[in-house]
Amino acid sequence: MSADDADTAADETTTGGDEDTPVLELDDVVVHFEQQESLVQQALPDSVGERFGMTEPPVQAVNGVSLDIEEEDVIVLVGESGSGKSTLGRTAVGLEEPTEGTIRYRGHDINDVRRGTHGDQDLMWEDVRRALQIIHQDSTAALNPYRTVRAILSEPLKLWYPDLDMNDRYERLTAMLRTTGITPAEEYLDRYPHQLSGGEKQRVAIIRAMLVEPDVILADEVVSALDVSLRIDIMDLLLDLQDMVGTSYVFISHNLTNARYFAEKADGRIAVMYMGNIVEIGPAAEVIENPKHPYTKILKWASLSLDPEEIDIMEDSPMMTQDAPDPSDPPTGCRFREACPKARDACAEAEPTLGSKAGDTHVAACYREVPDHEYWDSNWAHDGEEHDIPE
């Protein structure tokens, strides 16, 4: 562990790269998981093993995603289980290696940095690790139960800022705790995680990630396990800290109302994911108020209103199939077409891409966005007719 190197580099606020280079650039990132290498699968009983043979093709978790994350940017990845949002997030911050494509941190391919083959000796892998942090959904599992809050929070400071003495660390910790609404700070420092509430634990996990002043934080479902009434509190805290520390967020959520709050308040973007693809991306308010992709419209329909007058719980689901396709054998063409109430035969032919004309900030990967596409002349795919998506 070369703490000295890390310190030197960490003291320089930016390491290479000019003003216009995004903090993180994802370029056509593909992540496949080989099924036969999965330990989980080996541990499963035979009934499961039979269903997935040893020769099964890999699960296509992320299917060619390009995305730029700028300074103090907020991007919210929305999708259901299996949409690839967590895999994409983890790959973006260097926790998974992409099968294909590149991730550049301030212009440097992080896989080259990881292997030390990038040629720029000012930037070490430790710097990338410090710059890209993660906050998990389960703060109970993320915090060591045998250590006090003081020990948990001192660790990153000792590692990345070895010049700080005990008093300096104490000052930083108490200041941070006070800022985040954990008072009296002195008292909390001596507590163990089990003596904290769910919201307080999540705050400690957030502070731990923030103490090293990262450039990008992956916040993976950080509010979904919390009470609804606490979610706003935690999201506000993240936004306040963004103002202080100047970090960017990749915020993952399966809940569209949380996504809207976080992204809209930060003036950020929402990216909707389905089976490894971003199917729609744009400024938060636009994606919510004027969704383009049928899947986004369906997610909006499924989000329950706070107004009881607006909810008809007996309304049929607009999804044409209930079960998601097999991620190791996705449908040809548009991956959503089997479930899509707006699918036509042309959707089976080629996979639609996020078409973007210059200046377009809100785009969707759907042929309905292309006025002169052959889609419009082909037949409806489900029962030969169009199906509605209720508001």
Partner 1 sequence: MSETEMRSETDEPASDPVLEIKNATVSYEMSRGRARVLNDVSVSVERGETLGVVGESGSGKSIFASSILDAVEDPGLLEGDVIFHPENGESVNVPDLDGGDLRRVRWDEISMVFQGAMSSFNPTQPLRVHFEETLEAHNEDKDAGMERARGILRDLNLEPDKVLGSYQHTLSGGQRQRALLALSLLLEPEVLVLDEPTAALDLLMQRTILRLLQTVKEEYDLTMVFITHDLPIVAGIADRLAVMYAFELVEVGETREVMRDGSHPYTRMLLNSTPNFEMSVEDINPVEGSSPDPVNIPVGCPYHPRCPVSDDRCEEEKPALVEVEEGHQAACFYTDRAKDEIEVSLGGDGE
**Contact indicator for 382, 343 with CB cutoff of 8 Å:** yes
Mark 39-66 as b/e (b = at least 16 C-beta within 10 Å): eeeeeeeeeeeeebeeeeeebbbbbbbe
Q: Could you say which of 8, 183, 195, 317 contacts partner 1 (CB under 8 A)?
A: 317
Our CA angle for 187, 193, 196, nearest 5°, is: 65
Q: Which of 216, 298, 343, 346 binds partner 1 (CB under 8 A)?
A: 298
Closer to partner 1 by Cβ: residue 48 or 370:
48
Residue choice 90, 260, 335, 342 for contact with partner 1 (CB under 8 A): 260
The DSSP code sequence of 113-126 is HHHT-SS-TT--HH
Closest distance to partner 1 from the beta carbon of 357 (Å): 28
Instruction: Looking at residues 240 to 259 of the shown chain, list those that interact with partner 1 (rule: CB under 8 A).
Output: 254-258
Within residues 40-99, the interface with partner 1 by CB under 8 A covers 44-45, 47-48, 51, 80-81
Size of the site for partner 1 (CB under 8 A): 49
Q: Tell me the per-residue interface mask from 170 to 209 with partner 1, x by CB under 8 A, - otherwise.
A: ---------------------------xxx----------
**Does position 232 bind partner 1 by CB under 8 A?**
yes
Strand partners, 30: 63, 100
In the complex with partner 1, the residue whose CB is nearer, 47 or 55, is: 47
User: CB count, 10 Å around CB of 314?
Assistant: 5
226: left (phi over 0), alpha (psi -120 to 50) or beta: beta
Question: Which one of 175, 228, 244, 370 is in contact with partner 1 (CB under 8 A)?
Answer: 228
Kindly state the smallest distance separating residue 317's Cβ from partner 1, in Å. Answer: 6
Among 265, 362, 373, 387, indicate the residue that binds partner 1 (CB under 8 A): 265
Please tell me the distance from the alpha carbon of residue 66 to that of residue 354, in angstroms, as a whole number. 10
- Sign of the Cα pseudo-torsion (159, 164, 170, 172, in order): negative
Candidate segments 26-34, 111-119, 125-133, 310-318, binder of partner 1 by CB under 8 A: 310-318
Tokens of 288: 């919510």
The H or E element spanning position 270 is strand 269-274
Nearer to partner 1, 128 or 226 (CB): 226
The C-alpha atoms of residue 50 and residue 356 are separated, in whole angstroms, by 44
Separation between Cα atoms, residue 65 and residue 29, nearest integer Å = 5
Of residues 192 and 301, the one with the C-beta less far from partner 1: 301
Q: Which stretch binds partner 1 (CB under 8 A): 94-102, 170-178, 314-322, 327-335?
A: 314-322
Residue closer to partner 1 (CB basis): 66 or 255: 255
Q: Is 313 in the site for partner 1 (CB under 8 A)?
A: yes
* C-beta of 58 vs 198, nearer to partner 1: 198
Q: How far is the CB of 286 from partner 1 (least distance, A)?
A: 13
The residue among 212 and 271 lying less far from partner 1, judged by its C-beta, is: 271
Q: What is the dihedral of CA 11, 16, 22, 26, to 10 degrees?
A: -100
Give the H/E segment covering residue 132: strand 132-135
CB of 138 to partner 1, least distance (A): 12
Alpha carbon distance 370, 367 (integer Å) = 5
Q: Give me the least distance between CB of 311 and partner 1, in Å please.
A: 3
Strand partners, 132: 216
Site residues (vs partner 1, CB under 8 A): 44-45, 47-48, 51, 80-81, 197-199, 227-233, 236, 254-258, 260-261, 264-265, 288, 298-315, 317, 319, 322
